[in-house]
Structure 1
Amino acid sequence: MTAALVLAGATAALAADRPTPSGLPVPRYVSLKFDEVNARSGPADDHRRLWIYRVKGLPVQVVAETKEWRKVCDPDGGSAWVHRRTTDGRRMVMRTKSTALALRRKPEADLRPFAYLNPRSLAALDRCSEGWCRIRAGRTTGWAPAGELWGTDDRPQCR
């Protein structure tokens, strides 16, 4: 029994140390590069197209990859394969809740909001620190709580 546990632990450690085809960690966030991106049931063009993403800049989380394909999770919980050339390493976030999100000039909850990020809106992610993220939407840059934005949680987002 002990030998089996040791072997199982060693196998898990080897899997965790195994590099990805891209050399980048999984899961990780990327954004969609084009206005139309085919979402497929598997990692090849001959797999069935499930839907078409129609939002350039949509943040998605890469949860698996092959050399040419990325399995992504989207803000609505959908999971599909997209070609690597359709993704961009620039980090974006999305307000998925149905209410506007107050932005502040500094990462402090008691400051008065100076702008709002509307529901389903996208913003570029500059950086996150201590539970706050600095985001940019158009010409407006402000701070928002990380937990209020989709695209900041490092845990896998799709089941």
Structure 2
Amino acid sequence: MRQAPLWAAALTLLAGAAWAAPERATPSGLPVPRYVSLKFDKVNARSGPGNDHRLMWVYSAKGLPVQVVAETAEWRRVCDPQGGLAWVHKRTTDGRRMVMNTRPQPLVLRRKPKDQASPEAYLNSRALAALVRCEKGWCRVKVDGTGGWVREGELWGTAEPPQCR
């Protein structure tokens, strides 16, 4: 049986290392996907990364949580709570995390991160709240000075996997 030359084995090792290498860095240096919020009351949603691309719609909800799923140096492709994908300029986004109740009914915000904990407040349908932190499957949110705990994943803006495909 004939053996491959030593250089072939080295090339195979290098090819394997390249395949297992982490994805290349994003222009911002931040991970994708990640959540951000919209900074202004009016944010143009475009079909591509540039002002020369077609305007598809205008977001009119300051603080709306969106998930960055791709980026260029100046533009972010975002997924919104309704499943829409669009490109927005990076200056229109804010790194502060917000969440949204996308369910048709109010969501209970609990005093402690336990299913049996008493209610602290209710978050209405389509309402926004600031995400304080998530730990052990629960997230603490705050709105208008009142805070509470909800199970991770009950609010849009807490699930880690990409939300739009």
Contact in 1 for aligned 2:42/2:58 (Cα 8 Å): yes
Q: Which letter does structure 1 place at the counterpart of 2:20?
A: A
TM normalised by structure 2 equals 0.89
Q: Which letter does structure 1 place at the counterpart of 2:124?
A: N
Identity of aligned residues (%): 66
Q: Which letter does structure 2 place at the counterpart of 1:123?
A: A
Question: How far apart, in 1, do the equivalents of 2:91 and 2:17 lie?
Answer: 35
Q: Which runs of 5+ in 2 are unaligned?
A: 1-10
Q: Which letter does structure 1 place at the counterpart of 2:46?
A: R
Name the residue aligned to 2:27. Answer: 21
Name the residue aligned to 1:43. Answer: 49
Matches within 5 A, 1:121-136: 121-136=127-142
Q: CA deviation at 1:12?
A: 4.6
Q: CA deviation at 1:11?
A: 5.0
Question: How far apart, in 1, do the equivalents of 2:153 and 2:97 lie?
Answer: 16
Q: CA deviation at 1:48?
A: 0.0
- Structure 1 segments of 4+ aligned residues over 3 angstroms from their partners: 9-14
Between structure 1 and structure 2, the one with the greater Rg is 2
CA deviation digits over 1:107-146, x for unaligned, max 9?
0110121210000000000000111100001111111111
Q: Which runs of 5+ in 1 are unaligned?
A: none
Q: Which letter does structure 1 place at the counterpart of 2:78?
A: V
Question: How far apart, in 2, do the equivalents of 1:138 and 1:45 lie?
Answer: 35
Change (3 A) 1:41 1:10: farther
TM normalised by structure 1 equals 0.92
Aligned residues: 154
